[in-house]
Structures are given as C-alpha cells and as structure tokens.
Amino acid sequence: MAKATDAWSHLGLVFCLAFLLPLGPARVAAGLYNLSLTTDAPATMGTEVTISASLVVKDNSSLPLPVDTHLYRFHWIHTPLTLTAKTEKNLTSTIRVVGSAPGDFAVSVWVTAVDCWMCKPLARSSLVVPIKESLVGNLVITQNTSVTWPNAYITKRSLRLAFLLHDPSDFFKSATFFYRWDFGDGTLSITDNPVVYYNYSSAGTFTAKVRVVAEWEQIKPDAGKGILQRTGDFSASLRLREMLQGMQVLGPTLMQTFQKLTMTMNFFGSPPLHVCWGLKPECLPLEDRECHPVLVTQTSFNLTHIFQDPGDYCFTFRAENAISKTHQYHRVQVWPSSFQPFVFAFPCATLITVLLVFTMYMTVRNATNQKDESPEATGLKCCCQVCCGSLFLDSPSEYLEIVRENHGLLPPLYKPVKTYNV
C-alpha cells in the first residue's frame, strides 16, 4: 500500500513538471520584452482603425525572442470601440476597430502564456486612439523651388496647394467632395478638385485655408436612403519671399584721405538679408575670413568708411536671403589730401616777426640814416610778398601798387656843394 502511494506521488510530480515546463520561459522572461504599438489613427467616425502590437526584446537585452509563437497569446481591451477583425502572426497581433462617437479612447494589450492565466505577462502596452467627427487630412503646399527656410516660398511663382484625405479603409471612396479655398490675401475659390495652383503677387506671411465637405448616400434600415455629410477645416502657414534679384551701391568713386565715405546699398529682394562686405585692392570675391557680416532687416543699408592711405580700392558686397544670393563691386580712388594756403601762415608769421625785430634793431643802431631804406626792410617786404602775398592780395593791381610803394626814389647823382657866407 505504501508503494502504491509513493508511485502515485511520483506520477503526480511528473505531471506537474510536464505542465509547468512550457511556462518556465514565460516566468523567467517576464519584464524582458516590450510591445511595440502602431496605428493609423486618428480617424473619422465610422471608419476602421488598424492597431498592431509586436513583441520585441527590450534594449540592452541579449534574450532571444521565443521560437514557438503558439505558446503565447495577445489580450486586447478596446471597449467602447467595436472590433471588426483580429489576426495574429509571428508574435504580432493586429486588430481593426470602429468608433461610433468622437473622443479619445484608450486601447490596452498584453501577452501571456497560452495555458497560464495566472502567470505574469511578458509585456504590456497601451495607446490612445483619437476618433473625430470631422474629416481627417492635411493641407500640403509645395513649390518647384528649393528654399532653406521652413514654410518659405517665392512670390510670383506657382504654388501647389493639395488636400490629402486620411482614409486608410477607403470609407469615403463613394463620397463627393467640395473644397472652399481661402488663400489669405482676400482671394476665395470653390472647386471639386483637392489640388489648386495659386500665385502670390506680394511678399509676406499668409495663412491658406480650405474647408472640405464630403457627401455620400447611405441606405438606412428604418428610413431608406439618406445623405450623410462630413466636413473639415484645414490650414497651413506660409511665408512669401522675393528673390534677391540684385543690389545697387550708391557712393562717390573719388575720395581724399581722412574723408568719410558714405555708401548706400539698395537691395531688390525680401529681408532679412545676410550681408557681407570687404575691402581689397582689386575686385575679387571675398573669402570668409575677409568678410564683415551684417544682418539687414530692411531693403537698404548705409556703410561708412575712412581711408587713411591713398590708392585704388574695391568694395565687395555679398548678400543673400532665404531664396537666393547676389554680389556687387564698387571701385573707389583715394588721393592724398590737397595742400591748403593756411599751411604756410604760421611759418610766414614767425619769419615776419623775426625780421621786424631785426629791422627795429638796425633802425635804432643807424639812427643817423633814417631816410635811407634799410636792406632788412626791403628783405622783409620781399619775404612778405613771397610768403604771404597769395593770402592777402586779391588782384594783380594791388600787387603792383605795393611794389610801387616799396621802391623809393633814386638817390641824386651828385651831392650839393656846401656854401659858406663870410
């Protein structure tokens, strides 16, 4: 009897081990996997939404995926969304659900072993499915021009505005669509085509809008045929820029050293502009290290410069905006500063002072010959005429008059004989 009891005990232990053997990996691997979820939501009411869950290994884990996929099961909670289809293949489960009311609905999923409801899940995850009453889609604006700034386009060139409906289940394949376009500059248009072309004539920031209306016929069990309608409003912001077609440089081409040069640059394009300028002996393109960058927020810019050395110079300007770039050159010839008469005023005044002092000294020394014109005085007048004549004489007649006054009468050829009375 004891042997029979021991046999049944061993047999029960074998069955338990056989039952728990396939569940071992699930217990060991619990927490080492993730569920990757994907969906094509958001969607309009009545359209099908597809949600897929795939079992993947967590990051930094070397554990391989289970080989026998039949040992695991996916469990979904999607209420109040209505389930329309479910498939499982290669550790991936996909469901299709439909929403009958607008809102954000949570969907959860987890994976367990097939025959172990009490075991800890290998992985679990969740997401939110948006169901909208309106249409779902995007307004896409394109132009056959490469622009570096986001949402930036070129004026006076055709823009393509297209509405892309999001309908992965082809729910609206039998619907009729109408589109009301508002281009943001006062222009409106109504079409039955989801694509339109438009040219903006001026630069600026605009908001393009489109109202989409979808209508289709549906047979209702209790009311017969009826017309159903869905609408949606969509918009996109765009910035229109003018191409930088060129620039004009206004300024003198002939200067003197130490004079202030002022130049005005007029740009034929939309700001903001990145302007780079440099000064070189020849008109050659600038390298980056020779560039003086300036940010210009208007269509004109003033630049001042002072030349300290004479010579031939060339200003090089390079400007670019979000669409295009241009460059321009401006030659300037710099001459030395001209000599002015006042440069000699101080030396002449000093020389005159010295000669006057010398003349007074000689006059006092030769008091007996006061009527005779001293050579020093003559030299003084001559020097004054040479050094300062150009400063004080207005006409040749004045000069001749001074010369005439400075030359005294010629002395007599003979001296009178003295007579004595007895």
Q: Say yes or no: 48 and 118 in one domain.
A: yes
Domain range for 364: 341-406
Share of the chain above pLDDT 90, in %: 36
pLDDT level of residue 348 (50, 70, 90 thresholds):
low
Identify which of 104-108, 150-154, 222-226, 288-292 has the greatest average pLDDT: 104-108
- Best CA proximity match to 44, nearest among 170, 195, 224, 128: 170
Q: Say yes or no: 217 and 236 in one domain.
A: yes
Q: Say yes or no: 99 and 62 in one domain.
A: yes
Asked if residue 3 is part of any domain, the answer here is: no
Give pLDDT tens digits for 380-397: 444 444 444 444 444 444
Query: Mean pLDDT, to the nearest integer, of 402-421?
Result: 46
Give pLDDT tens digits for 255-284: 899 888 999 989 887 777 888 898 888 888
Global pTM reads: 0.58
Share of the chain above pLDDT 70, in %: 71
Asked if residue 14 is part of any domain, the answer here is: no
Asked if residue 17 is part of any domain, the answer here is: no
Residue 421 has pLDDT above 50, yes or no: no
d(CA 196, CA 199): 10
Q: Give me the pLDDT at residue 240, please.
A: 87
Residue 53 CA, chain-centre distance (Å), reads: 42
- Best CA proximity match to 320, nearest among 247, 238, 240: 247
Asked if residue 174 is part of any domain, the answer here is: yes
Out of 132, 162, 191, a domain closes at 132
Q: Report in angstroms the alpha-carbon separations of 410 from 17, 370, 373.
A: 156, 16, 11
Residue 367 DSSP one-character state:
G
Backbone angles phi, psi at 51, to 5 degrees: -130, 130
d(CA 32, CA 28): 9
Q: Say yes or no: 27 and 128 in one domain.
A: yes
Among 16-20, 342-346, 412-416, the least confident range = 16-20
Asked if residue 216 is part of any domain, the answer here is: yes
Asked if residue 13 is part of any domain, the answer here is: no
Report the CATH number that the domain containing residue 315 is assigned in CATH.
2.60.40.2950
Q: Give me the pLDDT at residue 138, please.
A: 96
- Best CA proximity match to 240, nearest among 100, 145, 131, 381: 145
Indicate the pairing of strand 292-296 with strand 273-280: antiparallel
Out of 101, 132, 163, a domain closes at 132
Residue 406 has pLDDT above 80, yes or no: no
Element (H, E) at 225: strand 224-241
Count of domains forming the chain: 4
Q: Give me the pLDDT at residue 221, please.
A: 66
Q: Say yes or no: 89 and 40 in one domain.
A: yes
d(CA 386, CA 152): 74
Q: Give me the pLDDT at residue 346, please.
A: 55
Q: Say yes or no: 150 and 124 in one domain.
A: no
Average pLDDT of the chain to the nearest whole number: 78
Angle at 131 (CA atoms; ends 228, 73), nearest 5 degrees: 125
Angle at 96 (CA atoms; ends 91, 101), nearest 5 degrees: 140
Asked if residue 125 is part of any domain, the answer here is: yes
Identify which of 183-197, 245-259, 354-368 has the greatest average pLDDT: 183-197
d(CA 364, CA 271): 82
Give pLDDT tens digits for 48-64: 999 999 988 886 656 66
Q: Give me the pLDDT at residue 63, please.
A: 63
Out of 241, 269, 299, a domain closes at 241
Residue 7 has pLDDT above 90, yes or no: no
Q: Give me the pLDDT at residue 321, please.
A: 78
